[in-house]
Structure 1
């Protein structure tokens, strides 16, 4: 397995990574390629793409570093490669890279089967549901906007109210600035 930065991909690999991203998240939960590239220009943004020995895209993770925290914005595993512990390996690697930092991510409310499975996946990895009401604005602006409720999860412990407040402020001031 090889790990590369999204910014360092090109050609067919870049297209496969972007296709996985677009197929893994609904339009209101993702950016356009142009907006994502602008986000990656921010020094706090990070990306990792996992490739197998043949150069096939196994997984992607886009995340942010801020105020002693790691915000996992997007994590997707190639559907043809699910069930091989790739996603858990990505999360475990992030936890190893950033010891002592609070790792935060969002999931949709566990109302449908896939959402329930996703919740259990993260719980098995040591994430806990936070009790805060959280509305994530759309990554689209104008008439295409679609704010939606998400569940905030953090690794190992609940986020404090101060951490949650800092997270929502970071989202408002930084993350949502890269919406289309």
Structure 2
């Protein structure tokens, strides 16, 4: 499996990754194309795509490398490659290449697909933190979105979550139109 870090939207693989991104995540959890273009300029942000040996696009992982955490923003594999262990391989590459705690968000277990995603991350070793957690409003018509924060390799405290929100949400959710992140 080959990994390529995209630094701009002109890369040949970007449109395939962007189509998967739009298909895999609901609108309230996605960045706009303008915001994605802007965030690609941040050195802490990684837009990594994964290719099979034949250069066939199989998925992506969008993540942030902060001083105290790795934060996985979005992660998806193409539909025809799901349930083949590739998602596990991709996440284990991130785990094996970093010695920092890893955080990611999941939707509340209110549907069978959400429950399956949580179980997938648990099988890899992520722990589900039961502290209240929501993401800032990113679009004017959107209300706050409550999610659960999962962490690897250990649970994190409510205080650690609050520190993560205070220190890193302004960076993660900063957009070209909204430089304060609020």
Query: Residues 127 and 153 of structure 2 are in contact (CA less than 8 Å); yes or no, is this contact kept in structure 1?
Result: yes
The equivalent position to 2:167 in structure 1, one of 145, 170, 173, is: 170
Aligned to 1:122: 121
More helix by share: 1
Query: Residues 13 and 55 of structure 1 are in contact (CA less than 8 Å); yes or no, is this contact kept in structure 2?
Result: no
Aligned to 1:156: 153
Cα deviation for residue 150 of structure 1 reads 0.2
**1:20/1:40 CA distance change after superposition, 3 Å:** same
Query: Residues 47 and 61 of structure 2 are in contact (CA less than 8 Å); yes or no, is this contact kept in structure 1?
Result: yes
Aligned to 2:180: none
Q: Does 1:46 align with 2:46?
A: yes
Query: Residues 34 and 176 of structure 2 are in contact (CA less than 8 Å); yes or no, is this contact kept in structure 1?
Result: no
Give the superposed CA RMSD.
Answer: 1.8
What are structure 2's unaligned runs of at least 5 residues? 178-182
**1:176/1:10 CA distance change after superposition, 3 Å:** closer
Matched residue pairs, number? 177
Aligned to 1:97: 97
| Runs ≥4 residues deviating over 6 A | none
What are structure 1's unaligned runs of at least 5 residues? none
**1:32/1:9 CA distance change after superposition, 3 Å:** closer
- Using the size of structure 2 for normalisation, the TM-score is 0.89
Cα deviation for residue 42 of structure 1 reads 1.2
Cα deviation for residue 54 of structure 1 reads 3.4
Cα separation, 1, equivalents of 2:123 and 2:40: 30
Query: Residues 61 and 74 of structure 1 are in contact (CA less than 8 Å); yes or no, is this contact kept in structure 2?
Result: yes
